[in-house]
Amino acid sequence: MRDKTMKNNPKILLYILMLSTLGINTPLSIIGIISEISQYFHTSIAMSGLYVSSFTFTIAVTGLFIPIFFSKFNRKTTFVSILSIFAVANLVIIFTDNIYIASFFRILSAVFYPAFISVALTFCEEIAPEGEGQDYITKILLGISVGSIIGLPITTWFGTVFGYQVAMGWIFLFNLITLILIAVFFPNIPGQSKGYEMPLSCIKSKEFILATVGIIMMPIGASIVYNYMPYFLQSVSHIYTHELSIFLFVYGLISIFGTWLGGKLIVIKDKATLIIFQLVCASVFLGLLVFADYLIPVLILFLIFGILDGMGYNLIQYIETSVLPNTPELANGVFLSVLNGGIAIGIAIGGFLVDGLGVMSIFIFGTIFLLFAFVLLVYVILVLKVELKYSI
């Protein structure tokens, strides 16, 4: 595989694929135009919210099995087929005024999202020059991160200025461009000669179960805080409108740096990074609880959290590929399920906390989930001594 694909410039393939992962992540960015969606479909905000969140919930479910199914197919065929489904689905979504039809096609595209990301992560590690595998993986994860962070303000601007259809139009065009790039520049690269079977012995192992339970605590704890950060900044720190938008954009840029940093730290000190991360993030949450009334410390602590939030992508993906080393597509699919499922659970828990106990409770419960993650990962790494990819 490596010798064959090296005839093509792996850097070019990597950056095209990075752009493609950025593109298929842009459907997540419509969270910023829920009111425009409600107006366009003549439906309630609650219904529009379900329409938006259906993408994430679908990914959380299909990430467990769809990537394995696609592992046996030609890599180029897989990428082109999935991007074509996205293009058709987005085209239908632009022109239909029926929210149920739009929801069907949004969910349809989300079904295939985990396969694209999973195969992209596996493929990048396969074509990477010796010793650069984690750098290539990190760039794909950056594509996911940037797609959400940069896509949100762009989609929101198009939606608020020109309307829902124009916002969906730019998403369609982005996907179409990446589809053409892959169709033109990618070589035909075979998948696995025999598709993976579900490795029941691996997924029933104590190491896999405890590691997965431990790492899902990370996006749950982070999501409890992250998704209610704007509400906290408005209600407690009294930061509104333009200042809030600027800060959130800076936070997003910082988190992109965090994704890059996480990839570097894993290669240098993977065990220490996985364990210390939980304690540092928990300390930041406790700091926000203590200094909530002081604006400058709050902003600094949130920016530190932005770095940690970005690092989480790498840490979750790394631990899953370590406990499932022989089934990379499945490992990357589980990574997507854990990430998106944890975010969805965190949003739900955070909503109940804010309504029932007040916004300050998000820091307490975010800390609790991270401490659970710390205990479980210490047990898995130091007691069960799970073999990590870069540990000697």
The confidence score (pLDDT) of residue 200 equals 58
Q: Read off the pLDDT band of 67 (50, 70, 90).
A: confident
Percent pLDDT > 90 in the chain is 35
Length of the chain as a residue count: 392
User: What is the arithmetic mean of pLDDT over 11-33?
Assistant: 85
User: Would you place residue 294 in the very low, low, confident or very high pLDDT band (cuts 50, 70, 90)?
Assistant: very high
Q: What tens digit of pLDDT does each residue of 338-355 get?
A: 888 888 888 788 888 888
**Residue 32 confidence (pLDDT):** 66
278-291 confidence digits (pLDDT tens): 999 999 999 999 99
Name the nearest CA neighbour of 224 among 53, 349, 50: 349
Count of beta carbons in the 10 Å neighbourhood of residue 106? 21
Which CA distances in Å does 73 have to 80, 195, 240?
A: 12, 8, 49
pLDDT value of position 110: 92
CA-to-CA separations, 253 to 136, 147, 153, 224, 382, in angstroms, rounded: 20, 12, 12, 20, 34
Q: How high is the pLDDT of residue 40?
A: 93
Q: What is the CA radius of gyration of the chain?
A: 20
- For residues 256 and 269, what is the distance between their CA atoms, to the nearest angstrom? 20
Distance of CA 22 to the CA centre of its chain: 11
What is the structure's pLDDT at 202? 66
What would the pLDDT profile of 113-159 be if each residue is shown by its tens digit?
999 998 898 888 888 888 788 888 888 888 887 777 777 778 878 88
Query: Is the model's pLDDT at 192 over the cut of 70?
Result: no
Res. 320: pLDDT tops 70: yes
Note the pLDDT of residue 99: 93
Q: What is d(CA 105, CA 93) in angstroms, rounded to the nearest whole number? A: 7
The whole-number average pLDDT for the span 78-87 is 95
Mean pLDDT of 153-168: 85
**Angle of helix 270-290 relative to helix 206-226, nearest 10 degrees?**
30
Pick from 67-76, 165-174, 194-203 the range whose average pLDDT is largest: 165-174
- Contacts of residue 387, defined as CB under 8 A and 6 or more positions apart, other chains included, come to 322, 325
Helix (H, G, I), strand (E, B) or coil at 345: helix
Dihedral sign (CA 220, 226, 229, 230)? negative
The whole-number pLDDT of residue 45 equals 74
The Cα 83–Cα 176 span in angstroms is: 8
Closest CA to 142 of 363, 314, 300, 326: 314
Query: What is the sign of the dihedral through the CA atoms of 351, 353, 354 and 355?
Result: positive
Q: Write out the two tokens for 330.
A: 């499945």
pLDDT at 5: 44
Chain Cα centroid distance, residue 162: 28
Measured at the alpha carbon of residue 142, what is the angle toward residues 120 and 187, in degrees to the nearest 5? 30
- Mean pLDDT lowest for which of 231-235, 277-281, 325-329? 325-329
Give dist(CA 289, CA 355) in Å, integer. Answer: 18
Per-residue pLDDT averaged across 320-329, rounded? 82
Are residues 119 and 329 in contact, defined by beta-carbon separation less than 8 angstroms? yes
Q: What is the mean pLDDT of the chain?
A: 86
pLDDT score of 7:
47
CB 223 within 8 A of CB 342: yes
Tokens of 51: 């329409």
pLDDT at 175 over 70: yes
Distance, CA of 27 to CA of 112 (rounded, Å): 13
- The lowest-confidence range among 216-225, 236-245, 303-312 is 236-245
**How large is the average pLDDT for residues 21-42?**
83
Spatial contact of 342 and 332, defined as CB atoms under 8 Å apart: no
